Amino acid sequence: MPSRIAEIRLVSSDHEVYEPCDDSFALVDALLADRTNLIEHNPKICMEIGCGSGYVITSLILLLKNEVPGVHFLATDTNPIAARVTNETLEAHGVEADVICTDIASCLEKRLAGSVDVIVVNPPYVPTPDYEVGMEGIASAWAGGENGRTVIDKILPVVDLLLSEKGWFYLVTLTSNSPSEICLLMRKKGYASRIMVQRSTDEENLIILKFWRDKDQEMLDKETSSSSSFLSQFSRSLSSFIEKQWR
C-alpha cells in the first residue's frame, strides 16, 4: 500500500538545505490529523512556503492525491538548492508540484491572490540577531530574527492575500514566537485559529496552528472582544491542550 506521507529514505538532501526534523514531523502530523477534513475541504490549489527538502509538500500531495482530483500543488523557497532538492524528493515519490525559487511568494502574489485553499509554512522561527535573517544557504531556513518573528511577520500578510475565502493556513511556531500574539494578529484580519499539535523536545516547544477565515468571529470581535481577554483564552486553551496530551 502506498505511503500516505513522504518516506525519509526517499527525501533528497544537501548540506545547504534544512533536513526533516521535529518541526517538519509535527507539521505533517497536523496534516495527518486533519486529513479527513482536508479531503472534504476539496482544495484546488495547495502551497508550501519555504519547502526546504520537500518533505512536507510531498507528504501533503500523498495525503490528497488519491482522494481529491485535480489539485494544483506549489512550493516556494528562497534557496535555489532547496528548490532542486524538493524537486528530487518529489520525483523520488512519483509526484509533481511546481517548485519556484522566490522570496515567500513575491512573483506569485498577483496571479494567486484569493485563490489558494491550503497554505503550509514551517518558517524560520529561531530567535537570532536580525542581521542573520535572509542569509544565503541553510541559515535562511532557521534564522528568524528578534523573537523569531521577523520572517513570520512578513509571511502573514502574504498568506492573507493568497488565501481563498475557504482557505486554511497551517503554521509552525515556537512558544518564544508568542503564538498567542500571532493568533491575535490573524484574528484582527478575520481569522479563527486552533492548536493542531503541541510537542516538546529537548530544545524547543513546538505549536502547530491552523487558521481559517471566520466572518462571524470578526463581527464578534468588533462587538465584544479585547486583546487581553483573547490572550488569556489562548493561554487556557494551550494549557488544556497540553493536559489532554499527557492523559
Is the domain spanning 8-246 CATH 3.40.50.150? The answer is: yes
Of 83-92, 119-128, 231-240, the one with minimum mean pLDDT is 231-240
Per-domain boundaries in the chain: 8-246
What gap in Å lies between CA 195 and CA 29, rounded to an integer?
A: 12
What gap in Å lies between CA 49 and CA 155, rounded to an integer?
A: 9
- Residue 145 φ/ψ region, left for φ over 0, alpha for ψ in the -120 to 50 degree band, beta for the rest: left
Say which amino acid occupies 187.
R
Q: Please give the pLDDT value at position 246.
A: 45
Inform me whether the pLDDT recorded for 113 exceeds 80: yes
Number of helical H runs and strand E runs in the chain? 9, 7
Q: Please give the pLDDT value at position 144.
A: 87
pLDDT digits (tens, 9 = 90+) for 115-168: 999 999 999 998 988 888 878 778 788 888 899 999 999 999 999 999 999 999
Share of the chain above pLDDT 70, in %: 86
* Closest by Cα among 14, 41, 2, 8 to 170: 41
Inform me whether the pLDDT recorded for 234 exceeds 70: no
pLDDT digits (tens, 9 = 90+) for 185-226: 999 999 999 999 999 877 789 999 999 999 765 555 554 455
pTM, whole model, 2 decimals?
0.89
Q: Please give the pLDDT value at position 151.
A: 94
Of 2-16, 88-102, 111-125, the one with minimum mean pLDDT is 2-16
b (16+ CB within 10 A) / e for 192-209: bbebbbbbeeeeeebbbb
* CA-to-CA dists, residue 37 to 77, 123, 126, angstroms: 27, 24, 30
The average pLDDT across 229-236 equals: 56
Q: Please give the pLDDT value at position 242.
A: 47
DSSP one-letter code for 126: B
Quick check: 27 and 59 in contact, CB under 8 A?
no
